[in-house]
Amino acid sequence: MLIYSVKETIERENLIKHGDKILVALSGGPDSICLLDILVKLREEYSLTIYAAHLNHRIRGIDAQKDALYCSEVCEKDGVIFFLKSEDVPALAKEKGASIEDMARQVRYTMLFDIKQKLGIDKIAVAHNLDDQAETVLMKLLRGSGLQGLRGMDYVRDDGIIRPLLDIYKYDILQYCEENYLNPRIDKTNFEDEYTRNKIRLNLIPYLEKNYSSNIKQILSRTANIIREDYNFIENVAKENYELIKSYQDDNETVLDIELLKNIDKSIKRRVIRIAIISILKDLDNIETVHINDIIELMDKDNGKMINLPRGLKVYVNYGKLIFTLKEKVIEEKKYSYKINLNGYTRVDELNLTVISNIISKQECLRYPTTKYAKAFDYSKIQGDLVIRNRENGDKINAIGLKGKKKIKDILIDKKIPVEERYMYPIFSDDNGILWLFGYRIAEDYKIDENTDKVVRIQLKYDVNRRDIIEKFI
């Protein structure tokens, strides 16, 4: 008995609670008429209040009016409160430049959710069946989809939509309508994704039934159910991770922590990024896998880097954070560069430190050993001004012991300095090149040798409260 199968679905998936107010989306076709009939039969058992709503979309002229009349008669007979909305969908579609199919769906769902809100409806029951589900799974597969699509339609959605007939074959619905003399209207306008879906229904599924599995529809529906469980699990994990990784969110921007984001599983990482995108764009339209990949690659890029994504979305790297926003953003770079007083003090506010420099003799130099904070250079080898500054793109150092020059950036990466700190590390350079990367060796070209006469000794004296940051690097 069909009603028991539906009840099994209702109980298993928790579709209905005792005392629920349920609104049935009633087209007058076999599916929705069968659904209404069954809910009416279950009305007493679950203490339901049942409503039905029909949209006269005026697409099929006199036929559409007959549909509406038929629906109102069925509801009257069953004691169901009936809502009818009439809208010139073809005209509206033309006006808005949308397809008739999209327009009809939009008007219909707006109507349903309006009624839901006004009457405090608990659930909106729609009449998708097992055949629809199998078609959906195939359609999503053929278009290329992950779990999101292959899970098919949900039995129950957060917005209150329920699908009690999702385990029922179309064939059994037609049978039920016949046995119960329901005389549904033949719905000639099956909008949703009409062309592909109809092809799948009329050609592909019969072809698969004949050549591969006679129960292919059930197999696909079961596949959707298994995948939905996995999908829900992963989505929940991703949502929890998103909350942990999100360091800021307002109407304009969502900020994720790069280090945390890097440390999670690939499958979750992609989802967290998608949630961040949705927080700005509201949905994922036009966002493709390649864009998610671009964002993942962006995490390894320098501070201030940005990528443009569809629909005006911008993602910036900003001191260890990813910023998702629609607005132009200037990433403050805290650029600094100071000419060093070779016999005296040079203050670097950005780093909260002072450079102490002295020009001394080679002999004198021996009394002051070099440390991680103090280095000595051949004075005669320095060309032009000696400068302390932050890293610029392409900076290289020919450090003692290296064969050839090495990129400063690579050295910092090798030393596992987080991206947001890399940019700030002090570099000492003259007009020709780099003398010293703080925390690393000095350059071959400036070292003291047998010909050295005068020596420049440079020492960093940092403010106490910066010790933690500086020491991390040494």
C-alpha R_g of the chain: 35
Query: Binding of its own copies at residue 216 (CB under 8 A)?
Result: yes
φ and ψ at residue 438, rounded to 5 degrees: -50, 135
30 is in an annotated binding site: yes
Query: Binding of its own copies at residue 234 (CB under 8 A)?
Result: yes
Query: Binding of its own copies at residue 196 (CB under 8 A)?
Result: yes
Query: Binding of its own copies at residue 145 (CB under 8 A)?
Result: yes
Query: Binding of its own copies at residue 230 (CB under 8 A)?
Result: yes
Answer for which of 207, 252, 262, 461 binds its own copies (CB under 8 A) is 207
φ and ψ at residue 241, rounded to 5 degrees: -65, -40
Helix axes 289-298 and 266-281, enclosed angle (nearest 10):
100
End-to-end alpha carbon distance in the chain: 76
Element (H, E) at 10: helix 2-12
- Alpha-carbon dihedral angle through residues 292, 294, 299, 300, given to the nearest 10 degrees: 150
Query: Binding of its own copies at residue 220 (CB under 8 A)?
Result: yes
Answer for which of 65, 86, 213, 383 binds its own copies (CB under 8 A) is 213
Answer for which of 52, 126, 150, 427 binds its own copies (CB under 8 A) is 150
Q: Nearer Cβ to its own copies, position 54 or 270?
A: 270
28 is in an annotated binding site: yes
CA distances from 417 to 58, 153, 408, 471, 473 (A): 66, 46, 11, 12, 7
Window 433 to 452, contacts with its own copies (CB under 8 A):
none
Q: Which residues pair with 86 in a beta bridge?
A: 56
213 is in an annotated binding site: no
Window 374 to 413, contacts with its own copies (CB under 8 A):
none
Query: Binding of its own copies at residue 110 (CB under 8 A)?
Result: no
- Point out which span in 125-133, 135-143, 172-180, 325-333 binds its own copies (CB under 8 A): 135-143
Answer for which of 91, 142, 359, 400 binds its own copies (CB under 8 A) is 142
CA 386 to chain centre: 47
- Rounded to whole angstroms, the Cα distance separating 423 from 125 reads 57
Residue 437 near residue 392 (C-beta atoms within 8 A): no
- Helix or strand or coil: residue 427? strand
In sequence order, what E strands does 351-399 have? 353-361, 374-378, 387-389, 396-397
The distance of closest approach from Cβ of residue 78 to its own copies in the complex, given in angstroms and rounded to an integer, is 36
Query: Binding of its own copies at residue 197 (CB under 8 A)?
Result: no
Window 283 to 342, contacts with its own copies (CB under 8 A):
289
Answer for which of 88, 90, 109, 146 binds its own copies (CB under 8 A) is 146
- Point out which span in 3-11, 112-120, 160-168, 212-220 binds its own copies (CB under 8 A): 212-220
Q: Which residues of 96-121 are buried (b: 16+ CB within 10 A; e: fewer)?
A: eeeebbebbbebbbebbbebbeeeeb
Q: Nearer Cβ to its own copies, position 183 or 214?
A: 214
Query: Binding of its own copies at residue 156 (CB under 8 A)?
Result: no
Q: Nearer Cβ to its own copies, position 265 or 300?
A: 265
CA distances from 252 to 270, 300, 328 (A): 21, 24, 11
- Rounded to whole angstroms, the Cα distance separating 314 from 306 reads 7
- Point out which span in 225-233, 333-341, 371-379, 382-390 binds its own copies (CB under 8 A): 225-233
Answer for which of 50, 111, 208, 397 binds its own copies (CB under 8 A) is 208
- Rounded to whole angstroms, the Cα distance separating 124 from 105 reads 15
The distance of closest approach from Cβ of residue 192 to its own copies in the complex, given in angstroms and rounded to an integer, is 17
How many residues sit in the footprint of its own copies (CB under 8 A)? Answer: 37
The distance of closest approach from Cβ of residue 229 to its own copies in the complex, given in angstroms and rounded to an integer, is 4
Query: Binding of its own copies at residue 244 (CB under 8 A)?
Result: no
- Rounded to whole angstroms, the Cα distance separating 24 from 16 reads 13
Answer for which of 60, 197, 199, 301 binds its own copies (CB under 8 A) is 199
Query: Binding of its own copies at residue 265 (CB under 8 A)?
Result: yes
The distance of closest approach from Cβ of residue 226 to its own copies in the complex, given in angstroms and rounded to an integer, is 4
5 is in an annotated binding site: no
The distance of closest approach from Cβ of residue 23 to its own copies in the complex, given in angstroms and rounded to an integer, is 29
- Helix or strand or coil: residue 117? helix
SS (H, E, C) 120-181: CCCEEECCCCHHHHHHHHHHHHHHCCCHHHHCCCCCECCCCEECCCCCCCHHHHHHHHHHCC
Closest CA to 103 of 163, 26, 22, 189: 189
> Applying CB under 8 A, which residues contact its own copies?
141-147, 150, 196, 199, 203-204, 207-208, 211-213, 216, 219-220, 222-223, 226-227, 229-230, 232-234, 236-237, 265-268, 270, 289
> Residues annotated in the binding site for ATP, as ranges?
27-32
